[in-house]
């Protein structure tokens, strides 16, 4: 009978906080965050599922004597209302002047995506890996555009309409309703 291998997480907790707020170990500044997953001889495919920890340090902030007054958040503040999410949008065919040839429906809830995609939250906003990297690169180089709020899941609608020859047609249109949004 084989013994089942356990995988567990642990952190090196030797670092202590000094009065300056920097972690210190043996009188040297230290930032030592190493998630340890056991067993260490796991196959390469399993290592692709390991967590990612991104720590960004500004060297000017690491010296207590040259510390400048600053805000607590390094990235632009984004309230929950400003974060990327789906907004309701009803398309009324009469408003577009299409009610003369579209028989049904009279309109539909199309929705749209809008909001901020701040670097610190891209992983929690239904974002792609590409969007995460783009947001990270934007934090390093502001000339690189930020990730933007886009539809990530769309659904179809069916429409009954009259064509130019007065034929009644039922057509299924893909990707017409925004169901979910994310950063991309």
Is residue 103 included in any domain, yes or no? yes
Rounded Cα gap, residues 73 and 121, in angstroms? 13
Number of domains the chain contains = 2
Domain span at residue 64 reads 8-70
- Residues of the chain predicted below pLDDT 70: 1-81, 119-124
122/36 same-domain check: no
58/89 same-domain check: no
Provide the pLDDT for residue 110: 98
26/53 same-domain check: yes
The alpha-carbon radius of gyration of the chain (Å, integer) is 26
Provide the pLDDT for residue 21: 43
DSSP for 104-168, written as a single string = E-SEEE--EEE-B--GGGGGGTT--HHHHHHHHHHHH-TTSPPP-EEEEEEEEEEEEEE-TTS-E
Tell me the per-residue pLDDT of 50-83, one tens digit each, with 9 for 90 and over. 445 555 444 444 444 544 554 443 444 445 668 8
42/108 same-domain check: no
Provide the pLDDT for residue 147: 87
Please indicate, yes or no, whether the overall pTM of this predicted structure exceeds 0.95.
no
43/82 same-domain check: no
């Amino acid at each position: 009978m084989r013994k089942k291998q356990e995988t567990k997480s642990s952190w090196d907790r030797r670092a202590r906080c000094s009065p300056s707020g920097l972690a210190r170990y043996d009188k040297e500044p230290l930032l030592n965050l190493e998630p340890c997953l056991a067993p260490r001889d796991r196959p390469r495919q399993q290592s692709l599922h390991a967590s990612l920890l991104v720590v960004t340090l500004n060297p000017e902030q690491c010296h207590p004597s040259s510390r400048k007054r600053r805000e607590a958040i390094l990235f632009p503040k984004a309230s929950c209302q400003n974060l990327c999410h789906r907004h309701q949008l009803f398309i009324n065919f009469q408003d577009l002047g299409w009610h003369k040839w579209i028989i049904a429906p009279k309109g539909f809830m199309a929705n749209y995506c809008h909001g901020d995609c701040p670097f610190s939250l891209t992983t929690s906003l239904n974002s792609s890996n590409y969007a995460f990297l783009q947001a990270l690169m934007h934090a390093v180089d502001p000339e690189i555009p930020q990730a933007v709020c886009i539809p990530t899941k769309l659904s179809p609608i069916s429409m009954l309409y009259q064509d130019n020859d007065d034929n009644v047609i039922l057509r299924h249109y893909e990707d017409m309703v925004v169901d979910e949004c994310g950063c991309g």
